[in-house]
Every structure is written in structure tokens, then in C-alpha cells.
């Protein structure tokens, strides 16, 4: 576990940013500090008029007097879903959690590409979340997750778009909502863009096992994706960050995520505002059409992008544990489709080339 009492200046900057995000007003932080740790914010902050400066004083006292670890533990317990606090949990978990069988922490570091600059990583994450959307049918009703792969193209699961593919519903009745997320000022309702009339450019079904219609395992002919066109451009529009939204870039030849490598899944679970969870790859099937992972996902997460530790696109989340009935026992794994076999299939089709 990271010893935050001996944190570096850069690590303290990350903690400071996370606490400001989790407790957006001094009143919020003061209440938390008193109820969870029995400490007085006004006394610790030196009556600084600016909240961010007062928080610096608190962190200095916490580090000097050996209670910074307690402060961070309490914050994580109080705000377990806050994305910036979860980064702190992730940093700690990497040094303490046992890796999958047969792996070592040194192995995981080598496979994932080494240490990451934390502040750069957080800024990259903030950029990538703007490219993820909640897929809705009808409007305001989340049915899945997707992400921009080009200015007007969204990738999601084939089973999310199945009614459109089958001709049972009009594509224009589906919407992609970007920026539906919660920040320090509340929940942003986001920007909604409908699909184009002829939206489906390419697709591949899920396997019978994943759909609950049979027992056949997935194959390279069942990649469970849908490439959809929007009714208007989204990538060159301005995001709340004040810059163009862009899209999640990718390229051919990306290796299938290896066992024990880290996955970051950006998702709209249960149709909720954008969430993130982090986990490990557990394994892969023989033909490389699926990897299993232990990132937490639920209904509504279908179609989520799975990123590696470098914030590079690695896979398309598509299913939970097909052996779990939702009643007996518990789920053992979730599933995702590596991005490379999807791009290999698209390479042979008359679709816009969005990959390098």
C-alpha cells in the first residue's frame, strides 16, 4: 500500500485535486473531516479564505502529523464512486493486491508498459471520457454504451443495435448522449445526437452462449459489434473542456490484452451518468475472439470501451458471465472483444477507414 504520509509533491498534488473534486465546497469537506476523523477544518486550514489554499494547509498538517493515510482511507470510504479518488485507490491497489495466479507485480508492470505519469494520465482520462456516449432508446432511456471512433461514427455492441439491424426499429429513434456525467457542479445532462437514417455500416452478432439462446462459444464470426453513423458530426464539436471532442483513435496490429494486464472501462451502467472501473484481464479464448476480465459492469455497460493502462483502446466490453443466472452464486468474470479482430473484419468491408 502507498504510504501517503511520505507522499511526494506530485502525489500530494493528485490527492489535492481528488479531494477538491470529491468535496467541492469547504462546507462539504469540513463536515466530512469532522464526522469521519473528528478534526476541525477551520483550525487546520488557518482560516484561509480560498478553499484550495485551506486544503493545502490540511494536507500539510496531515502529512506532518502522520494522519494523511487515515484521511485518504476515509475519503475513499465516504465517496467510493468518485473517479478521481478511485485513481488513488488504483495506485494503492497496484502495490498491495495479489495479482492473478502465476503473475508477479514486476510482470504486470512490464506487460502494461511501465510506470505512468499520474497527472498526464488523469488529463488523458478526462479527454477520453468526452468521447463516450450513452446509447438511448427511446431518448433519455439508456440501453447501452458506445464511443466515437471517427467524427460521425460510433462503435457499440451488435446486441445493443440488434433491433435496428433486424429492421424492428428505426435507427433515427436511437440517440447517443455525450457528456452525461457528474462533476463538482452536479450532473451534466449532456448533448444528444440521433443516429442517421441508414446508421448500420457493419455489424457482427454475439454468440448464442452470450445471448442465452444456446451453448456455442464465441467465434471470430461472432464479434458482437455494430459500427453506427450519427446524423451529424460529434467529434469536431466542442466538449465541456473547451476543446474539440475528438474520438478514440486506434490502429491495426494492437495485441490482444494479455493475462493480468490492466483494463479501464468507461461505461454507463444501468444508464447512469458516466462511470469508470478498473480491473485485470483474466484470460482469453483459443481464437482470440474474447478476453475475460474482472472489471465491474452491469446492464447498460454493453458497448463500453476497454482501455489499457496507457489509455489506449484495447477491447469492446460485451457481456457478463454467461454461466451466472443472476440468482445462484455470483458472477466469476465479464467478457470483452479485443479490438484487433474487429478491425481485421472491417478492413475487408466497404466502410470508412477510421483506424491507422
Rounded to the nearest 10 degrees, what angle do helices 9-22 and 51-64 cross at? 130
CA torsion angle for 67, 70, 76, 78 (degrees, to 10)? -100
Please return the burial class of 339, using the count of CB atoms within 10 Å of its CB with bins 0-12, 13-18 and 19+. buried
Q: Return the minimum-mean-pLDDT range out of 7-11, 22-26, 198-202.
A: 7-11
Q: Which residues are 145's β-sheet partners?
A: 134
Q: Which residues in 260-288 are b (16+ Cβ under 10 Å) and which e?
A: bbbbbbbbbbebbbbbbbbbbbbebeeee
pLDDT tens-digit series, residues 49-85: 899 999 999 999 999 999 999 999 999 899 887 777 8
User: Could you tell me the three cell numbers for 53?
Assistant: 489554499
Q: Which residues pair with 155 in a beta bridge?
A: 147, 227
Task: List Cβ neighbours of 75 (8 Å cut-off, separation of 6 or more).
Answer: 18, 19, 22, 23, 32, 85
Q: What is the pLDDT of residue 89?
A: 65
pLDDT digits (tens, 9 = 90+) for 322-341: 755 555 556 688 999 999 99
Per DSSP, 244 falls in state B
- In this structure, of 25-34, 118-127, 310-319, the range with the lowest mean pLDDT score is 118-127
Average pLDDT on 156-161 reads 97
Give the separation between CA 1 and CA 146, rounded to whole angstroms: 34
> How many residues would you count in the chain?
356
Q: pLDDT exceeding 90 applies to what percent of the chain?
A: 68
Q: pLDDT digit string (tens) for 314-326? A: 999 999 877 555 5
- Mean pLDDT (the chain) is 88
Question: Which letter does DSSP use for residue 42 in this model?
Answer: H
User: Virtual CA dihedral for 118, 119, 124, 126, nearest 10 degrees?
Assistant: 110
What Å distances lie between residue 29 and 82, 121, 132, 170, CA to CA?
Answer: 14, 25, 30, 48
Statement: the pTM of the whole predicted model exceeds 0.75: no
Task: Render pLDDT for 181-199 as a digit per residue (tens, 0 to 9).
Answer: 987 678 999 999 999 999 9
CA distance 319 to 217: 13
pLDDT tens, residue by residue, 83-125: 778 777 655 444 333 444 444 444 444 455 556 677 778 888 8
More confident of the two residues 146 and 12: 146
Other C-beta atoms within 10 Å of 245: how many? 21
Amino acid at each position: 500500500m502507498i504510504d501517503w504520509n511520505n507522499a511526494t509533491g506530485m502525489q500530494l498534488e493528485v490527492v489535492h485535486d481528488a479531494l477538491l473534486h470529491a468535496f467541492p465546497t469547504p462546507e462539504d469537506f469540513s463536515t466530512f473531516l469532522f464526522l469521519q476523523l473528528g478534526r476541525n477544518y477551520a483550525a487546520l486550514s488557518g482560516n484561509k479564505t480560498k478553499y484550495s489554499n485551506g486544503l493545502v494547509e490540511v494536507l500539510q498538517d496531515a502529512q506532518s502529523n502522520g494522519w494523511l493515510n487515515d484521511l485518504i482511507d476515509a475519503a475513499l470510504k465516504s465517496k467510493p464512486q468518485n473517479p478521481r479518488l478511485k485513481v488513488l485507490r488504483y495506485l494503492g491497489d497496484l502495490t498491495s493486491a495479489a495479482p492473478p495466479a502465476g503473475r508477479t507485480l514486476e510482470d504486470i508492470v512490464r506487460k502494461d508498459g511501465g510506470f505512468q505519469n499520474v497527472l498526464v494520465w488523469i488529463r488523458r482520462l478526462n479527454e477520453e471520457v468526452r468521447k463516450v456516449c450513452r446509447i438511448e432508446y427511446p431518448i433519455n432511456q439508456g440501453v447501452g454504451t458506445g464511443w466515437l471512433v471517427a467524427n460521425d461514427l460510433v462503435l457499440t455492441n451488435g446486441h445493443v443495435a440488434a433491433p435496428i439491424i433486424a429492421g424492428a426499429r428505426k435507427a433515427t429513434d436511437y440517440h447517443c448522449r455525450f457528456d452525461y456525467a457528474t462533476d463538482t457542479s452536479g450532473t451534466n445532462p449532456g448533448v444528444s445526437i440521433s443516429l442517421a437514417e441508414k446508421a448500420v455500416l457493419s455489424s457482427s452478432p454475439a454468440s448464442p452462449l452470450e445471448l442465452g439462446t444456446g451453448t456455442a462459444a464465441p467465434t471470430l464470426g461472432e464479434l458482437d459489434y455494430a459500427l453506427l453513423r450519427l446524423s451529424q458530426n460529434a467529434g469536431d464539436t466542442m466538449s465541456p473542456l473547451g476543446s474539440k471532442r475528438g474520438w478514440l483513435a486506434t490502429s491495426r496490429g494492437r495485441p490482444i490484452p494479455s493475462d493480468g494486464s490492466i483494463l479501464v472501462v468507461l461505461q454507463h451502467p444501468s444508464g447512469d451518468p458516466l462511470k469508470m472501473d478498473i480491473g485485470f484481464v483474466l484470460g482469453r479464448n483459443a481464437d482470440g475472439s474474447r478476453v475475460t476480465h474482472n472489471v465491474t459492469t452491469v446492464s447498460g455497460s454493453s458497448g463500453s470501451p476497454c482501455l489499457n493502462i496507457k489509455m489506449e483502446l484495447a477491447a469492446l466490453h460485451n457481456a457478463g458471465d454467461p454461466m451466472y443466472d443472476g440468482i445462484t452464486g455470483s458472477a466469476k468474470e465479464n467478457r470483452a472483444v479485443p479490438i484487433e479482430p474487429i478491425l481485421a473484419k472491417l478492413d475487408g468491408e466497404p466502410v470508412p477507414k477510421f483506424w491507422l
